[in-house]
């Protein structure tokens, strides 16, 4: 203690004051806050990549079950490692989710989180050159309806997160029987075309509102740093009471 006091006195002679650094507590995101508010007890993590979303909500206090789906071989391996760090995190066998059961070819991007089934447009490539294709991979494709029944049993408030690079509409088409059970949805909404044939934000919002969901929050997700234009946001929805 005498040493610390001497250091403080020395610094004061120089006109400086020493204080203990207390790091700021990060504000909870609307996603984490709303999971708590609506009592979400199951998160269906579609397009999990390496487990970033699951790890984030775990660190923020979500303690319910997570079920993750990921098609890329390399990302699926890292996802399995991430899920092993905590309880109640299930990683399904490698597959993409869509509107049919079969196979699909996925483009492997330099940034694996941007790997799409739909062809990427120049609007995406110019805003994120690091997402340029590095190869292709044939992956199994399944509908959510065909896989999710066993996980919904016992869940009172399931939540669906969809991060599938323009393939969100097809995932919803394959979840027609699942959606009535879903309490909340987090989905990527593209404000401009980024992938060939994708549905844009207004169409997805209209569809989810017709399913009985209310838009709860937006979170900017992807912008063109050269122009400042927001290209994609995450849309958070919850079912009307």
Mean pLDDT by runs of 10 across the 241 residues of the chain is 61 61 50 94 97 93 95 96 90 97 91 82 86 89 95 95 96 97 97 94 98 94 91 94 69
The pLDDT of residue 27 is: 42
Nearest to 66 by CA among 186, 172, 207: 186
| pLDDT single digits (tens) 197-238 | 999 999 999 999 999 999 999 988 899 999 999 999 999 999
Kindly state the DSSP code that residue 23 receives in the 8-state scheme. P
The pLDDT of residue 16 is: 65
The pLDDT of residue 107 is: 87
Q: Which CATH code is given to the segment(s) 28-239?
A: 3.40.50.150
The pLDDT of residue 30 is: 79
Beta-sheet strands, E only, within the chain: 42-46, 65-69, 89-91, 96-97, 102-109, 133-142, 158-162, 184-190, 213-224, 229-239
Q: What is the phi/psi pair of residue 179, to 5°?
A: -55, -40
Bridge-based pairing of strands 42-46 and 65-69 is parallel
CA distance 96 to 102: 10
């Amino acid at each position: 203690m005498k040493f610390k006091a001497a250091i403080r006195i020395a610094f004061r002679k120089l006109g400086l004051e020493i204080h203990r650094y207390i790091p700021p507590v990060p504000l909870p995101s609307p996603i984490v806050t709303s999971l708590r508010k609506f009592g979400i007890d199951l998160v269906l993590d579609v397009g999990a990549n390496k487990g970033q979303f699951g790890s984030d909500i775990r660190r923020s206090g979500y303690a319910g079950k997570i079920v993750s789906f990921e098609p890329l071989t390399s990302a699926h391996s890292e996802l399995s490692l991430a899920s092993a760090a905590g309880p109640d995190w299930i990683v399904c066998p490698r597959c993409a989710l869509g509107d049919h059961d079969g196979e699909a070819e996925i483009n492997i991007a330099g940034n694996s989180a941007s790997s799409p089934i739909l062809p990427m447009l120049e609007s995406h490539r110019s805003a994120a050159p690091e997402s340029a294709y590095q190869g292709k991979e044939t992956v199994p494709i399944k509908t959510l309806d065909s896989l999710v029944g066993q996980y919904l049993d016992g869940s009172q408030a399931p939540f669906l997160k969809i991060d599938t690079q323009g393939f969100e509409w097809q995932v919803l088409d394959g979840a027609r029987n699942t959606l009535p059970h879903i309490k909340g949805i987090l989905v990527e909404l593209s404000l401009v075309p980024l992938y060939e044939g994708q549905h844009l934000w207004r169409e997805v919002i209209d569809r989810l509102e017709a399913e009985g969901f209310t838009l709860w929050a937006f979170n900017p997700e992807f912008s063109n740093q050269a122009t400042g234009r927001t290209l994609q946001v995450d849309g958070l929805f919850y079912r009307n009471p």
